[in-house]
Amino acid sequence: MTDLNFTGTMQLFVRTVLLGSFSAAAREAGISASTVTRKISAIEKHLKVALFHRSTHEITLTEAGYLYFERVTAILSDIDDAHRAVSALDAEPSGQVKLTAPVAFGRIYLAPLIPQFLKIYPSIQLDVRLTDNHNDLVRGGFDLDIHEGENYINDLVVHPLSRNDSVLCATPEYLSLNGHPQKPADLSAHNCLQYIHPEAETQWRFRKHQSRFSHLPRGTLQSDHTELLLSAVLEGTGIAEFEIWLVRDFIRQGALKIVLPDYEFKNDLTGKFIYLAHLPNRRQSAKVRVLKSFLADRLSRVGMLTESEIQSLRDKARAS
């Protein structure tokens, strides 16, 4: 491969994988698609193995291609780190950082934090993608990912931001009209609004001390959109389950009350923690490190109720 700029060709290979086609990589690089094809074919010839499955409409990585992609991505990250260290760019973090997070979480918590971060680090450009479906960190080229629940990629490097508590909620008006459930079985007499998801359980599960309980929610509304359910609950429609980070302010303001405050609500879909994560082969450059530190500092405990909050909310619930 003496006729190739090897580093440049590796970069071209990575962009082809991330963009999903030779033509897209060519447009981004400002060269012809045939040039991209020729350069990647030269890599395959040198390695004596195919990196892509090629068809009329798409290209996909072979097993060897995926392994090569992982190693090359790490190599290019090391090269980038070396350039930054030598040129002293790490003294002032700069460049693009890609972050992905759930929609509601991003709207409530990231939206006010991002302007603060960019004021501190004006040489960094953030690319923030919000979705309730896990983004593909590999194909999306994401540096950091905020997610709830169990890791969806093997060997993902995770930093727990906060415990992720879930609670049942209703408005004071709804509870005044329909009564306050004292135990899970009492929910059968209530309009229970349900979040639906392909991986979600159909039953609500509770724990109190060593005892476990379950309830199959039945009601007039089910949805795959948490904020739609929240709007319905705030209008007094019924009872629903939410992560505390979504409803904490409404509870503090008195717009919502926790239902069954003496019971621990368990939700395997949203899991026990909110994580900040990155791929194992993504080296932590200065720009990524400062964003990770910034978010970890400001989002610590965002998904959990403190003991004092729990006691205060339980006292209010009992007094109602």
Q: Is the pLDDT of residue 131 over 90?
A: no
pLDDT reported for residue 283: 57
Same-domain pairing of 245 and 281: no
Same-domain pairing of 157 and 175: no
Q: How confident is the model at residue 4 (pLDDT cuts 50, 70, 90)?
A: very low
The Cα-based distances of 93 to 14, 29, 41, 230, 243 in angstroms read: 23, 25, 36, 39, 34
* Digit-coded pLDDT (tens) for 171-206: 999 999 999 999 999 999 999 999 988 777 788 999
Q: Could you tell me the two tokens for 70?
A: 């992982």
Answer yes or no: is 313 within a domain: no
User: What residue type is 75 in one-letter code?
Assistant: I
Q: Which residues make Cβ contacts (< 8 Å) with residue 57, sequence separation at least 6?
A: none
Answer yes or no: is 312 within a domain: no
Answer yes or no: is 253 within a domain: yes
Whose tokens are 């040039």? That residue is 35
Domain that holds residue 196: 166-269
Same-domain pairing of 112 and 176: no
Domain tally for the chain?
3
Answer yes or no: is 232 within a domain: yes
How long is the chain? 320
User: What is the secondary structure of 92-141 as a DSSP string?
Assistant: S--EEEEEEE-HHHIIIIIHHHHHHHHHH-TTEEEEEEE-SS---HHHHT
Answer yes or no: is 288 within a domain: yes
User: What residue type is 286 in one-letter code?
Assistant: A
